[in-house]
Amino acid sequence: MKHQLHALDNLAQDAATIQADALLLLLSEAQIKALSGKAAGKTALGKYLAAALAAKDFSGAKGEVLAAYQMAGFVARRVVLVGSEQGQAAQEAAAVQTALAQCAGKGIGNIAIAGFSHLPAVAGAATAALYGYDLTLAKKNPRAGQALHFYQGKADKAAKAEFATALAQAEGVQLARELGNMPANYATPTHLAQTAEKIAKAGKNISCKVLEKRDIEKLKMGSFLSVAAASTQAPKFIELSYTGAGKAAPVVLVGKGITFDTGGISLKPGAGMDEMKYDMCGAASVLGVFAALARLQPKINVVGLVPTCENMPAGNATKPGDVVTAMDGTTIEVLNTDAEGRLILCDALCYAARFKPAAVVDIATLTGACVIALGGVRSGLFSNNDALAAALDAAGEAAQDLCWRMPLDAAYADSLKSKYADVANVGGREAGSVTAAKFLQRFVGDTPWAHLDIAGTAWKSGAAKGATGRPVGLLLQYLLAR
């Protein structure tokens, strides 16, 4: 998909000269008022808008769209007006997605977008709107060949840098969505490892190491291996390193990579189990971030760790009540084999300590309890460090990839006490997302650490079923802000 940034001196005067199969004009209430006034009313755009307002065909309200074909005075074949309310970033992102729905399956190749104020939000939303999963479909997505042209007041060095960041983020989000949407017989642990290797091979300053089962055994990652025990798919432990800042302490990102989760012996209900292919979206987000880093080459150091395997039932599967041993020697009573994400993450968090990180952030579709608490709007944020939590929250706001800080009081760990091991892998039903985070916290020591529970935000169910690519935007903005 082709993306280009263009300067546009005067929207009222120059919109009519833009050559495109479709020209999408995102208009806020303030712009509509200005463009329909006396000064701008003599332009092609002003006349079109004034006529539409007079006929009450368009008011600029949220989601309102007015499309015209071969409009007099315009070079573009189609001109689409869409309301963006007060012109805020989230409103413009929603507006461009609505407008692009008018460009589906109509032989439209070049699409021009103008009238916006928030380039990163609009570029990301536009790219996302044109994405369509087609890997396992006989009929491929025709929109993949469409070109996007963005017109704004300036296309100077600062604007181009902002544009490059937006496109890198969009690329990372798209990779995460594609991996999440793949069926589990395609997106295997081996496939995730191969994807990581391709990212490293294609980008400067990136290296990749893939640990096989025998290597994982040597590291004594008994907790991780207990989850992988019954699958015919070999587990992998992926280590990606991006070095852009010499010997500076890195940020370590740890992504949960359960490529399919049956629940193991604690078997999930059959209805909706197909969505458990999304249980590797934490891993997908880490890979998406590294794809963006490869493109942007920022002056930071980042390590990505992905423990990846399937959670399957079989005669050699871990059973409820079994006790397993993590890499640091902690013994864990597995009371529920469907609480497997924390079992693979704890070993990865132990491994992360060898990098002496400035901060560790783990990302996981961890608990249904977080979905109940926050729905699909915000990811759950847990942290032992106020500065880190504030930075992640600010990054989420900047990327429109929102999170919400949850508590980590010491008392929440009481429910994880076990008579037969150092810790149990689950507590009771109450505060399930918090107790899961408390389990992970015991494996990070004093290192600044945050846990993002993305169970509610990593994918959508129902008619809109599919991976969202979150929280690639949040993570990338956090890293770049450093």
247 is catalytic: no
Q: Within 13 Å, how many C-alpha atoms sit on residue 142's CB side?
A: 9
Which helix (DSSP H) or strand (DSSP E) does residue 191 occupy? helix 189-202
Q: How far is CA 479 from CA 14, 296, 475, in A?
A: 38, 12, 6
Question: Can you say whether the dihedral through the CA atoms of 33, 37, 43, 49 is positive or negative?
Answer: positive
Please give the structure tokens belonging to residue 482. 């450093």
268 is catalytic: yes
SS3 396: helix
CA 222 to chain centre: 30
Q: How far is CA 98 from CA 85, 150, 170, 347, 433, in A?
A: 13, 16, 18, 44, 34
- d(C-alpha 454, C-alpha 476), whole Å: 16
> Quick one: residue 63, left, alpha or beta (phi over 0 = left, psi -120 to 50 = alpha)?
left
Q: Which of 382, 444, 375 is nearest to 412 (CA)?
A: 382
Strands (E), 246-334: 251-255, 257-261, 301-311, 322-325, 331-334
CB atoms within 10 A of CB 251: 23
CB 463 within 8 A of CB 450: no
Choosing from 47, 268, 405, 442, the catalytic residue is 268
Choosing from 78, 143, 236, 342, the catalytic residue is 342
Q: Who contacts 138 (Cβ-Cβ below 8 Å, separation ≥6)? A: none
Burial class (CB in 10 A: 0-12, 13-18, 19+), 23: buried
Give the largest CA-CA distance in the chain. 81
- d(C-alpha 49, C-alpha 167), whole Å: 31
Q: Who contacts 274 (Cβ-Cβ below 8 Å, separation ≥6)? A: none
CA 241 to chain centre: 19
Active-site annotation, residues? 268, 342
